[in-house]
Structure 1
Amino acid sequence: MAGVCIIACGAASPAHAYAQVRVFNIAPGEMRIVLEQWSRQSGRELMYRVEDVRGLRSPGVRASLAPQKALAALLAGSGLVMRVDNSGATAIVRNSAVQRPISDAAPAQVDQPGGITDIVVTARRTEERSQRVPVSITAFNQDNLREKGISTGTDLQNFTPSLSVVGDVARNQETYSIRGMGGNGGPGTGSGPGVVGYFAEVPSSVSGPGNFYDLASLQVLKGPQGTLFGRNTTGGAVLLEPQRPKMNITEGYVDFTFGNFARKSGQGALNIPIVDDVLAVRIAGQFDKRDGYVRDVVTGRDYLNRNNYSLRLGVQFNPTDTFSNYTAVSYADVKEHGGGSILLAVNPNRPYAALLQPYLAAQQARGIRRTALSVPTREVAKNLLILNNTQWQPTDTLTIKNIVSYARSRSTSATDRDSTPLQIADLLGAYPGSYNNNLRTITEELQFRYENGPLRLQFGGFFLDQKTPSDLTFATINPMQSGGILGGGPLLIPPALQPLLGLSGPLAPALSLQPSAHVDGRSKALYAQAQYKVTPELTATAGFRWTWDRFGGDIQSYQAASSYQIFNKLAALGVISNAQAAQIVGLNSDLCVYDAYQAVASGGFPTRHYPNCTTPTFNGKSDGPTWQLGLDWQADPQTLLYAVSRRGYKSGASNPIVSLFLGEAHPLFAVQPEKVTDAEVGLKRDWTLGDVKARTNISAFYTWYSDIQVVQRAAIAGADILTNAQKARVMGLEFEGVVVPAKGVTLSAVYSYNSAKYLAYDTIAIPAIPQALTAAQPSRDLSGTPFSFVPKHKIGVNGRVALPIPASEGEMAVSANWSYQSSQRVTPENQPFDTIAGYSLFNLRLDWNNARGAPIDLSIYGNNIFNKAYRITANPSYNNSGFINSIYGESATYGVQLRYRF
């Protein structure tokens, strides 16, 4: 029969022979090859339709099992089932009970002819081959991440077109930006991320360490999302799909890495079947420890180290063929030194210029791998996520999915904002036992998917509720003012008095304490998207969403009484009178900061002291539409063309600091929601030129951007505020290609061009605020300036060459990665070091997989092997606070990696 394959490696056996246990050793691979190996090792005849297995991949099996159970393990997640008649003959057929198997995760990848991998993605909330999805998407599987050394968002940006990771002087506070759109206004003030991260379809944090392990896929979607996704976005989405438990198979791996800077890291997973075809669990975890690559010359403390671990549990329960329930628990713990910022420039026209200049000279002399800070900086975080994904298919055409999650995110960070031993702008972090970020987040999403003939319809609703379950606390040190908090310039102590007052420098520290703060946010949305096949090759897509957002919070702050004892000491030394000391100490000790500002602004006198402070509150709301219109044409099995236009929306926000000094009626208090409209065309194509296989994916886009949310640094009372730029445009091009010119040789490249600039950007003038020590700031025209943290060009080139060794010895290959990104602005304002220079990184790796025929993979790697110095973050405060500093990327690293699979 045409199209049917019969594998006959022995006489047909009676059904009872299937109970006999045999040893199976079948590696993951193409389904057709795997089935042939099963037939040889079991001695059984097997039949299947060629078209049913084409393009599918099996997880393999290495265990002592009855042949029937081994075959079930090989078919897990493929959509195929076996049928055995009374004679023992076995046939592999498509599962007709469901549209696709919901018992297990889909295969992570499909190997196309010629060795080009097509990763299975969930960009449209259902599993599809990436080449069939009309979306600009960059996808990785776990092997890709391993080979490229990707463990954080900062690593990921080097291999992904149009992706930038925006940082600050806290290294793990990564914010994703795609095509120039992203950013995060912070919890409680509204705004939110322009690029949303998802873990197993739940909006979650995907920044920082401890996320990129035991994944089925990592996907970066470009452009506005929202008509299919839980949260609305303007820039795109980053999807982490964990490996889900597999039925009827015990498998797993352990992976250890040892390298320079005393690196010791590991990860592993164990898949355990509990009840055949019904219940399975998967346990995974990782840890990463490494010394820092920047050292404090005074204390010897190493900064930018790694010290984190993560644990993950997945439970898959499939009581019937049409009902699937996946529950996951994920926990991450980070205790790192952070910091390592380097002072780059000092503004000679700012108050502390004379004090900072000697420290700048000392920093320039010692280079970028050593620093001297006044704060033992740290980054501590605990993140817990519990989710449940239930899917039911009551009919062949209808699927109902419900996704609910609970998350708890707690963190504290201490940073030295001036990057010197002086206490000018130091954030000490939270109170002991407390946190300065503590959020409880609950999400609920109900989704319906209807598929019948040429129509696919998906619609649903999304709800997010976020609040602070306990007080957020914070401690900040700034220089003492000569008359206290409401005095004039900084209090400078002469050298002769410094030791008598217990000071190590000329500045007396003033400690500000925040004993209480709360933030909350709520987002609700309804969405729907329809796909209709106008012809078998041409599909039209239309989607719409409306989102409603509310946000708010409250805060308290006061001046610690201990800071003002210096005035009593000055009185005891006879520098000031006892009466003067009593007046200053009595006024400022435990003074309620915001009450004092309000009293002076209204012409009164500060009288409130902690704990009798008022609690200022702030609230806001916004809503807006998201939509999508598109056409895609599958011209032939190797060619997909598409055109799409989308509307994106990001929540509005508010500035609490503005309400305190200027009132909620001031134009700077309310921040308008962002609005984005784009147009994109793309071509995905697989090529066969003789024996040469190739793939080229290309997309071009233009984005109209209005009410862009931007940060104006240290605008009021030394605090940053969020404002709107009026109009901007982003246009660009993205390319991803791979070619296999000969057996064992694979060459790939990625490229992106992004031109992002403001078309109309007039800042709002800020009046002089004496009680906030804020000078008048006139309006400025920043039209024509480029976006921050958006390199115009990004290039990545990879080559992998298989080495000629006997097949019995395994597979050996050497690979090289070169990545480059052009210069990028860090602020629209002109100042020294306002641009991060372009840089390139070069990595090398040697892989020996299935070493000596065993399930062992051994690798030797070197990253940034030329030890390139490059900046990855910036704190561009030259024009306001009077200095600018940065964190630099990792120096050269090398090591060995060993993985055992079972």
Structure 2
Amino acid sequence: MKNATRLMVTASAAAMMLHPGIARAQAQEPETKHSAALAEADIIVTARRQSERLQDIPVAVTALDKSFLENHTVQNLTELSQYVAGIKIETTVSPDQYILSLRGQRSSLVLSGVDPAVGLYVNEVPYSLAIGASQQFYDLESIQVLKGPQGTLFGQSTTGGAVLFTTARPTDVLEGSLKGGVKFFNGNSGYYGTAVLNLPVSEKLSVRIAASGIDREGYIKNKGPFPPIPGTPIPEARLNSRGTGDFSDDREINGRLSILFKPTDTVESLTVGTYGKMWTNGTGKHWTANNPNGFVQLVYGFYGLDAQQIFSDYQSMLKQNFWSAVNPIDQYVNTKTWGILNNTSIELSDTLTLRNIINYRHFHRDQRIEVMGAPFSIITPNNPVDGHEWSEELQLQGHALDGKLDFTSGLFFFEQKTDVRTGGVVLSMQPTDVYSNNVARSYAVYAQGTYSFTDQLSLTLGGRYTWDDRTVHIDGLSRVVTPTRCSLLVTGGGAALPIDACVIANSVSYSTPTWTVSLNYKLDPETLLYLAHRRGYRSGGLSLYGTSLTTALPFKPEKVTDIEFGTKRTWFLGGEASLITNLAAYYSDYKDAIRNISPPGGNPADILLTNASSAKIYGGELEMTLIPVKGLTIAGSAAYVHAKFGDFPTANGDATGNPLANVPRWALTGSIRYAPMDNENGKISLGVEGYYQSMFWFDDENQTPGVDGPIDSIRQPGYGLLSLRVDWENVMGSNIKASAFVTNLTKTEYYLGGSTLLYTGLGANAAVPGDPRVFGIELGIDF
């Protein structure tokens, strides 16, 4: 707590020292308040479920508006990390399963019935199981990253933050656009395109149609079996449209229909229908460590082969081409989603608005992957998921007490139902099937208001009470055993159980209050200071993927209570010069952190969800945007997170005092964008962008080199990425835009995350490589 207090005091002192200089600059050039800076300062966000200026709200938010998204080729969630310091996004298991981390809060796995630590919202509705979320990356109005517990206004209380996607709404203008591009990388290529048509059907009705497609070969070269086990068939890779079967590829077809109906001046109804289909060869993984006494060695030794020599040859292959991999199975991931949303608002009076937001989303996912990346099949899960989510929210917004009070209140309901098959092969043993279904329901009532005592001083109070119900039914029948016994759900002694004992049915319920308190002070019209205290909550539940009596157990909710000091300021430096600085410092008390750990003994593919007793987290973020002269923008951000467990003994060792896995202590972003030409022939912009993140561990438990493997197989050292971009808008006075870009210019070799199972029965570690250097060309036309 002393470190957190010291950090906040330092931040406060820095803000006070900066302010006199700001005031002087403002006094010298008051007429410049309508300079280019206001385009940055006037970004509108919906972090408090209302449209407000980013610089006016007491919440740490990074907002990427439509202009930013149009000048960057952001096609999936993982790319957000390079633009938002502090958020870390992984796809270590599958390219359609995203694990998000903010301020040390992270979901260790993407599982049905397990709420995310960082929530994903599309048009204000939660994507709890984030299948299909990345397929919304087209025709967006904005992406907002909210940092810290979101325990009051959002549909699923989250402990780390929330990422909000807002799709473009229909307008009353007949317009459209076409955009397409090509990428080149690692000897492969890929194409992508987006089409948008906006139709004002009448004064009361507008329609917007948007579609996107991607056909990209894999970033990771498929080297095939290496070598195959004698007598085993060589799998045929699933080929894309150009005949390659490389990994970490992307093939998508997505569509969206938005209908805006305004029958009267006081009623507005927005309906959005979506469809998405994605199919891929899955994520390419690297075999990063081999246990000479492990199972891989045992299997190869049975055929007279030396696994250690094969591992050495594998490492030689990676030295020649880091972006290559070996897979012993026919691997694939296919997803299909569709959904419909309606958001209706009715102005009851000049001061009251009633909103109703209802959403239904269906998803189907089929997957067969090799988890460990070794040439021999170690863990090969086959996990089809079929399910839906739907939510209903009734909300009342308004103003009261002569406009001094702004408030939002509401009722919320959410349901997720999934049918899951947890099947596959472990260590080449008999294939197994576990059929499970899950029902997760959440009910909540909430209210939040901001009362302005004066034009400068205001107080925000918010509260939410949430009830969560979780029900799980697991049928542990194995398809290869006798009809009267099952082998997957076993007793502690390892004996097969009678068939009537192979079913687990359980339910749990939780309820809790969460809240927000924020004291906000406007030092002057362009300076905001705030001190906030919040509580976030992530529901407990039952592991839908538990395959033994010792892993299909309840886990408790986790709770985060924090205190945050922040300041936001727009400096006017004279002429067109301006600077925006947003600073936040926080301390979080993290209780009953939900983690997955390796179960003691039993099936090594089991997922045991449990609670660490506590963790202490403190840190801060700084975002700056400088416009020294017209046409030149310099931006940067930094995030610092100090996150360590308290008491956390496990059956496999003591993780007490360990840093939280996959949480780099430092993350930095920086960019310089300059427009040397802006005239009747168009606008040319040149951009340079950099990203850096410090070292992080792959696993909460395994952080001891030598015991858990070579240090390079259990952690990712710090690394940096450099990108370049050139945009030419309104080419020669036309409505055409041309762009060229290169990402990871220096071909930095790095891992997004990894698995450390070297000294389990599996005997291997694995890691997922990040993207290689990518060149791209893009053309677009507006009409």
Is the TM value for this pair above 0.5? yes
Bin for the TM-score computed over the shorter chain:
0.7 to 0.9
Residue pairs, 1:273-422, within 5 angstroms: 273-276=200-203, 278-298=204-224, 301-354=245-298, 355=300, 356-367=307-318, 368-422=322-376
Runs of 4+ in 1 over 6 A off after TM superposition: 656-659
Distance 1:688 1:657 in 2: 56
- 1:308 deviates by 0.8
Distance 1:801 1:474 in 2: 52
Q: Which residue of 2 aligns with 1:81?
A: none
For the Cα contact (< 8 Å) 1:169–1:341, is it kept in 2? no
Residue pairs, 1:293-692, within 5 angstroms: 293-298=219-224, 301-354=245-298, 355=300, 356-367=307-318, 368-427=322-381, 429=382, 436-452=384-400, 453-468=403-418, 471-479=419-427, 509-514=429-434, 516-561=435-480, 588-589=481-482, 592-593=485-486, 597-598=490-491, 608=499, 614-655=502-543, 660-662=548-550, 669-691=553-575, 692=577
Distance 2:489 2:347 in 1: 62
Q: Which residue of 1 aligns with 2:28?
A: none
Q: Which residue of 2 aligns with 1:717?
A: 603
For the Cα contact (< 8 Å) 1:862–1:893, is it kept in 2? yes
Distance 1:663 1:746 in 2: 53
Q: Which residue of 1 aligns with 2:641?
A: 754
Q: Which residue of 2 aligns with 1:810?
A: 682
SS at 1:787 equivalent: coil
- 1:558 deviates by 3.8
For the Cα contact (< 8 Å) 1:344–1:884, is it kept in 2? yes
For the Cα contact (< 8 Å) 2:199–2:207, is it kept in 1? yes
Which letter does structure 2 place at the counterpart of 1:460? G
Residue pairs, 1:65-464, within 5 angstroms: 112-113=36-37, 116=40, 118-183=42-107, 186-188=110-112, 190-204=113-127, 205=130, 209-247=134-172, 249-260=173-184, 261-276=188-203, 278-298=204-224, 301-354=245-298, 355=300, 356-367=307-318, 368-427=322-381, 429=382, 436-452=384-400, 453-464=403-414
Count the aligned residue pairs: 704
Structure 1: which 5+ residue stretches go unaligned? 1-53, 56-110, 431-435, 481-508, 562-587, 766-776
- 1:854 deviates by 1.0
- 1:144 deviates by 1.4
Deviations 1:216-255 (A, max 9, x none): 11000001113111211111110001111112x1012111
Distance 2:643 2:37 in 1: 39
Q: How much is the aligned-residue C-alpha RMSD, in angstroms?
A: 2.3
For the Cα contact (< 8 Å) 2:365–2:385, is it kept in 1? yes
Shift in alpha-carbon separation, 1:155–1:596, aligned structure 2, 3 A: closer
Could you say which structure has the greater relative contact order, defined with CA pairs below 8 angstroms and 6 or more residues apart? 2
Q: Which residue of 2 aligns with 1:784?
A: 657
Structure 2: which 5+ residue stretches go unaligned? 1-32, 225-235, 238-244, 301-306
- 1:420 deviates by 2.7
Which letter does structure 1 place at the counterpart of 2:490? Y
- 1:370 deviates by 2.4
Distance 1:200 1:658 in 2: 33
SS at 2:151 equivalent: coil
How high is the sequence identity, in percent, across the aligned residues?
30
Shift in alpha-carbon separation, 1:207–1:683, aligned structure 2, 3 A: farther
Q: Which residue of 2 aligns with 1:826?
A: 698
- 1:297 deviates by 1.9
Which letter does structure 2 place at the counterpart of 1:309? I
SS at 1:234 equivalent: coil
Deviations 1:675-720 (A, max 9, x none): 1000111111111122321111111111111111111025442212
Distance 1:377 1:351 in 2: 21
SS at 2:470 equivalent: strand
Which letter does structure 1 place at the counterpart of 2:721? L
Shift in alpha-carbon separation, 1:663–1:297, aligned structure 2, 3 A: closer
Which letter does structure 2 place at the counterpart of 1:283? I
- 1:879 deviates by 3.2
For the Cα contact (< 8 Å) 2:436–2:544, is it kept in 1? no
Distance 1:855 1:125 in 2: 35
Tell me which of 736, 741, 748 is aligned to 1:856.
736
Residue pairs, 1:866-885, within 5 angstroms: 866-880=746-760, 881-885=762-766
For the Cα contact (< 8 Å) 2:646–2:657, is it kept in 1? yes
Distance 1:706 1:312 in 2: 40
Distance 2:776 2:377 in 1: 39
- 1:517 deviates by 2.1
For the Cα contact (< 8 Å) 2:551–2:608, is it kept in 1? no
Distance 1:319 1:467 in 2: 35
Shift in alpha-carbon separation, 1:114–1:389, aligned structure 2, 3 A: closer
SS at 2:43 equivalent: strand
SS at 1:360 equivalent: helix
For the Cα contact (< 8 Å) 2:669–2:692, is it kept in 1? yes
Shift in alpha-carbon separation, 1:854–1:645, aligned structure 2, 3 A: same
Which letter does structure 2 place at the counterpart of 1:726? S
TM-score normalised to the size of structure 1? 0.75
Quick check: 625-634 or 551-560, which moved more?
551-560
SS at 1:742 equivalent: coil
Distance 1:621 1:816 in 2: 51
Distance 2:288 2:754 in 1: 10
Tell me which of 705, 709, 712 is aligned to 2:590.
705
TM-score normalised to the size of structure 2? 0.86
